[in-house]
Chain A
């Protein structure tokens, strides 16, 4: 259950960014999570709810974009998507592949309510 630690780290950053901007409330937090990490959606959501209680992030939406793993073969140059279990090049069978995507744990952006925002 290291999602608690991950989410603490997310919320540290989100809270200070929102406060810096002078926001009243955080309404959405967008993350990118690679499928080759060990971060599980349900556990992230649970941690998010538990940790945002009573903060300016309470009730905000958590939007997680999952990133499909992708690698490039160093032998034949083939670029391919794959699951967690198969990173060998499907074209030439080489084991020398380099992961291009799939290990992300990333905070993309947040949406906040501002005081005196247009239309508010």
Chain B
């Protein structure tokens, strides 16, 4: 006998994501989910973003890692609320983990939450968490051919940050080839070349992010 199911595989995750979404809208909190491979500079980019936007928005960070609290401690040193989510081996964050992290934050006192997803260019791509947008960070040492190897992550991203641009001469990174490949995969995503630890290029990225936050607020006010 055949039984029709006709349900998304990630139905349970998607429904939990929708509940996260509704909760975030209710509290007027904007969420950006940062995706990158290990060592691309997610934490450095978050620290640079905090420095640029902390006078404008009340920010918190959700740190997803397989284990340890190293990253969340770096954020807390900046007097920014941070919740560590240890996935215990899982290669991606799921909506229920974000729900628990949101429980640990005072949403009434926040405008912007940055999620640092687990370092991985594949797995987090298929999981909606209830965020406003996903942003992908690629670092120069990883090579300009990454969009051809990991198209999925470049496609779900609303913007692409190219980090460690100060190392470009050393790594023979072809920025034109990179832009061409991203342009084919995701032609509407802006690319922000930055050097997070030096503050270079960070302003263009944070201005764009602020514009997204403000656009969402204007939408909500209508």
- The residues of A with any CB-CB pair to B shorter than 8 Å are 1-2, 5-6, 9-10, 12-14, 17-18, 21, 23, 31, 36-39, 84-88, 95-96, 105-114, 117
**21 A-B pairs in the complex with CB atoms less than 8 angstroms apart:** A2-B90, A2-B91, A2-B122, A5-B90, A6-B126, A21-B3, A36-B152, A37-B126, A37-B152, A38-B122, A38-B125, A84-B152, A84-B155, A85-B184, A87-B184, A95-B183, A108-B4, A108-B6, A109-B3, A109-B6, A110-B2
Residue with the highest number of chain B CB atoms closer than 10 Å, among A18, A38, A109: A38
A111→B5 CA distance, assembly (Å): 10
Q: Report the minimal beta-carbon distance from A84 to chain B, rounded to whole angstroms.
A: 5
Asked if A5 and B2 make an inter-chain contact with CB atoms under 8 angstroms apart, the answer reads no
What class of interface size applies to chain B in its complex with A? Answer: 20 to 34
When C-beta atoms are compared, the residue in chain B nearest to A94 turns out to be B187
CB 8 Å contact bits of B89-116 with A (1 = contact, 0 = none): 0111010000000000000000000000
Q: Among A17, A36, A105, A117, which residue has its beta carbon within 8 angstroms of that of B9? A: A105
Sample of 14 further A-B pairs with CB below 8 A, known A31-B9, A112-B3: A2-B126, A5-B90, A9-B11, A12-B12, A13-B9, A36-B155, A38-B123, A87-B184, A95-B188, A106-B8, A107-B9, A109-B6, A110-B5, A111-B1
Asked if A106 and B7 make an inter-chain contact with CB atoms under 8 angstroms apart, the answer reads yes
When C-beta atoms are compared, the residue in chain A nearest to B124 turns out to be A2
CB 8 Å contact bits of B121-154 with A (1 = contact, 0 = none): 0111111000000000000000000001001100
The reply on B185 being an interface residue by CB < 8 A is yes
When C-beta atoms are compared, the residue in chain B nearest to A89 turns out to be B187
Q: Report the minimal beta-carbon distance from B92 to chain A, rounded to whole angstroms.
A: 5
Given contacts A13-B11, A95-B187, A95-B188, contact A84 B151 (CB under 8 A): yes
Asked if B92 and A5 make an inter-chain contact with CB atoms under 8 angstroms apart, the answer reads yes
When C-beta atoms are compared, the residue in chain A nearest to B122 turns out to be A38
Asked if B148 and A85 make an inter-chain contact with CB atoms under 8 angstroms apart, the answer reads yes
A2 — which chain B residues lie within 8 A by C-beta? Answer: 90-92, 122-124, 126-127
A21→B9 CA distance, assembly (Å): 19
A10 — which chain B residues lie within 8 A by C-beta? Answer: 9
When C-beta atoms are compared, the residue in chain B nearest to A10 turns out to be B9
B125 — which chain A residues lie within 8 A by C-beta? Answer: 37-38
When C-beta atoms are compared, the residue in chain B nearest to A118 turns out to be B1
B10 — which chain A residues lie within 8 A by C-beta? Answer: 6, 9, 105
Q: Report the minimal beta-carbon distance from A25 to chain B, rounded to whole angstroms.
A: 11
When C-beta atoms are compared, the residue in chain A nearest to B181 turns out to be A85
Asked if B122 and A17 make an inter-chain contact with CB atoms under 8 angstroms apart, the answer reads no
A112→B186 CA distance, assembly (Å): 42
A36 — which chain B residues lie within 8 A by C-beta? Answer: 151-152, 155
Q: Report the minimal beta-carbon distance from B179 to chain A, rounded to whole angstroms.
A: 13
What 3 pairs between A and B have smallest CB-CB spacing? A95-B187, A2-B123, A105-B9
A14→B122 CA distance, assembly (Å): 25
A5 — which chain B residues lie within 8 A by C-beta? Answer: 90, 92, 94
Q: Report the minimal beta-carbon distance from B154 to chain A, rounded to whole angstroms.
A: 10
